[in-house]
Amino acid sequence: MNSQALAVRADRLGDFVRMLSEAEMPPHMYNQYAPDTPHNAIRRANLRRYLEEMSASRPAVMLVGEAAGYRGCRLSGIPFTSEVIMLAGVPAHDLLGEAKGYRKTTEWPRPVGEQTATIVWRVLASLPQPPLLWNVVPWHPHRPGEPWSNRRPRAEEITLGVPYLVRLAELFNIEQVIAVGRTAAQALERLGWRGDTVRHPAHGGKRDFTRGLRTSLGPCR
């Protein structure tokens, strides 16, 4: 891809992040990209930087989860990625890292880790090429009155998030999708997208998730 094409794609990714930030939220769902706080500005920048990094590697596969979690994407702005991983980077793929400009917010005093993110990136680091990471619901659904909690997204919230999933897949010319968990799988089925489903790594699913993802994405290093 030449420099002009890369510039065009970068502009389109910027427009995508902007549209994501402007989405109106239903009750009990937080838009961590909304243009109303300095924290969210950092997360928008993190997400755009991640998408541009991934664009350069031209992934053909997208790994699709359920929704942003409060210890992961809600803080970092990057799906399946905690602040700890984002700042440390993934040397195996020369991705992420504080040296590349990724920043944490000051909402929590120290970088926060997340079990799911740790498991996911441990597997991805062992693969020849990481997939593009995304969530059916790219924002953070939480329990009423508990902003630092997670809950399963409702049907109408999934409907709200699906157009962003479709648009991102188009921007990256995605050829294969892999759903993480039943909620993501059902959303992809409704779109008529065929792909593998792997178990979510939380709640004792680490072994099955690891085995399923390695089978779907190819041999490890």
CA distance 135 to 146: 21
DSSP string for residues in 82-150:
-HHHHHH-BGGGTB--GGGT----SSSSSPPP-HHHHHHHHHHTTSSSPPEEEEEE-SEE-BTTBSS--
Q: What is the mean pLDDT of residues 194-221?
A: 79
Reported as a single tens digit per residue, the pLDDT across 77-130 is 999 999 999 999 999 999 999 999 999 999 999 999 999 999 999 999 988 889
Domain residues for the domain of 70 are: 3-176+185-192+200-217
Q: Is 156 helix (H, G, I), strand (E, B) or coil?
A: helix
For residue 221, the model assigns a pLDDT of 42
218 has pLDDT over 80: no
Q: Which of 28-37, 102-111, 122-131, 167-176 has the lowest mean pLDDT?
A: 122-131
Using pLDDT thresholds of 50, 70 and 90, give the confidence band for residue 215: confident
For residue 7, the model assigns a pLDDT of 64
203 has pLDDT over 80: no
- Looking at the 3D structure of the chain, how many domains does it have? 1
Contact yes or no for 154/25 (Cβ under 8 A): no
- What is the CATH classification number for the domain harbouring 46? 3.40.470
| 123 class by beta-carbon count within 10 Å (0-12 exposed, 13-18 middle, 19+ buried) | buried
CA distance 59 to 57: 6
For residue 3, the model assigns a pLDDT of 61
Q: Which of 14-18, 49-53, 125-129 has the lowest mean pLDDT?
A: 125-129
Task: Provide the mean pLDDT of the chain.
Answer: 91
Using pLDDT thresholds of 50, 70 and 90, give the confidence band for residue 206: confident
220 has pLDDT over 80: no
